[in-house]
């Protein structure tokens, strides 16, 4: 049964590749559009520069309102201060297209935790684009009567692996887990918007070649809260590939956004609807009745679309 399911998944993935190239940008008209990008911290290596240019070029047609940046946006060894030249070489210069001169709402990935996390937060006072009010925060956006709430959570300290590696991630063990989770519970309990998206850096269910303990900690601490409330999507980065998972008994779409650099092979798990090792980014589009998240590869093809309807 497992082999048969995998065969069907691969067949559907191939079918999506053949029929998914964007030819009509009117699908983004009269929608509230924003980009999703993460794991960019390779100083322009791999496909980062061409994907950045593609995001900018497509932005001329799509008109994204902002970038939801789900972690590891800067150098993979972290940054030391706001004067670190890596801010320029890895972010300000690479993502320099005029259509990307919009708000970037980031969260911290585990690579940011390798450096000075306070410097990452402080950069919001220097960059016109970098808008990070805290380690975890929430914002509501409204467009033509449609509302969407995005909740950014700080997942690195929620995983014991990073809390225990105090030499590599010295700031992770200092963060209060219970305080953040109580805040998340309160925000979701009071959320009344049309669409609710929670964004973190680490996956809850998607396979990761790193350590299974990462997923188990996220399931225990985060998913136990998400499942009690109206949450449409949980979106993350971290594992450098596209994945869409639906867990039996849950109405949440668990989404992994691929990296703009160093894409990796994918291993589907139970509940996987789509997976791809292609590097790229995603576009989320909403109106009052529909939410679409389109996974886009480095050639500008829409590999897969997740659709939620009211």
Place of tokens 């070649």: 209
Residue 110 labeled ligand binder: yes
List of residues 6+ apart from 192 with CB closer than 8 A: none
CA R_g for the chain: 18
Residue 111 labeled ligand binder: no
* CB-based contact 263:279 (threshold 8 Å): yes
Strand partners, 281: 296
Helices marked H in 146-211 — which ranges?
Answer: 160-164, 177-190
Residue 251 labeled ligand binder: no
Residue 238 labeled ligand binder: yes
Beta strands across the sheet bearing 146-152: 137-143, 146-152, 195-199, 233-236, 253-256, 242-246, 272-276
* CB-based contact 302:47 (threshold 8 Å): no
Residue 39 labeled ligand binder: yes
**Tokens found for residue 163:** 């809390």
Question: Based on the number of CB atoms within 10 Å of its own CB, is 222 exposed (0-12), middle (13-18) or buried (19 or more)?
Answer: buried
- Strand, helix or coil for residue 6: helix
**Tokens found for residue 126:** 């220097």
Closest CA to 208 of 265, 154, 260: 265
List of residues 6+ apart from 137 with CB closer than 8 A: 151, 152
Residue 171 labeled ligand binder: no
Binding site members for Fe cation: 39, 72, 110, 201, 238, 240
Binding site members: 39, 72, 110, 201, 238, 240
């Amino acid at each position: 049964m497992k082999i048969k399911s995998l065969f069907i998944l691969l067949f559907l993935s191939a079918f999506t590749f053949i029929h998914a190239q964007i030819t009509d940008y009117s699908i983004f008209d009269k929608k509230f559009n924003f980009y999703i990008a993460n794991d960019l911290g390779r100083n322009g290596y791999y496909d980062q520069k061409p994907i950045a240019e593609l995001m900018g070029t497509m932005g001329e047609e799509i008109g994204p309102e902002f970038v939801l940046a789900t972690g590891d946006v800067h150098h993979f060894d972290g940054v030391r201060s706001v004067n670190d030249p890596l801010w320029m070489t890895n972010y300000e210069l690479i993502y320099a297209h005029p259509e990307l001169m919009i708000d970037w709402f980031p969260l911290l990935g585990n690579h940011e935790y390798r450096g000075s996390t306070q410097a990452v937060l402080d950069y919001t006072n220097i960059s016109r684009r970098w808008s990070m009010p805290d380690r975890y925060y929430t914002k509501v956006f409204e467009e033509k009567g449609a509302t969407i709430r995005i909740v950014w959570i700080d997942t690195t300290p929620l995983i014991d692996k990073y809390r225990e590696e105090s030499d590599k991630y010295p700031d992770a063990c200092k963060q209060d887990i219970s305080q953040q989770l109580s805040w998340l519970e309160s925000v979701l309990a009071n959320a009344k918007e049309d669409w609710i998206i929670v964004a973190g850096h680490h996956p809850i269910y998607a396979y990761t070649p790193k350590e299974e303990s990462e997923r188990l900690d996220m399931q225990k601490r985060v998913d136990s809260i998400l499942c009690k409330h109206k949450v449409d999507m949980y979106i993350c980065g971290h594992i450098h590939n596209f994945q869409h998972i639906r867990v039996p008994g849950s109405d949440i779409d668990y989404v992994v956004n691929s990296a703009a650099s160093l894409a990796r092979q994918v291993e589907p798990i139970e509940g996987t609807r789509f997976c791809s090792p292609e590097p790229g980014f995603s576009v989320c589009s909403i109106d009052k009745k529909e939410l679409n998240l389109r996974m886009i590869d480095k050639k500008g093809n829409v590999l897969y679309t997740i659709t939620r309807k009211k």
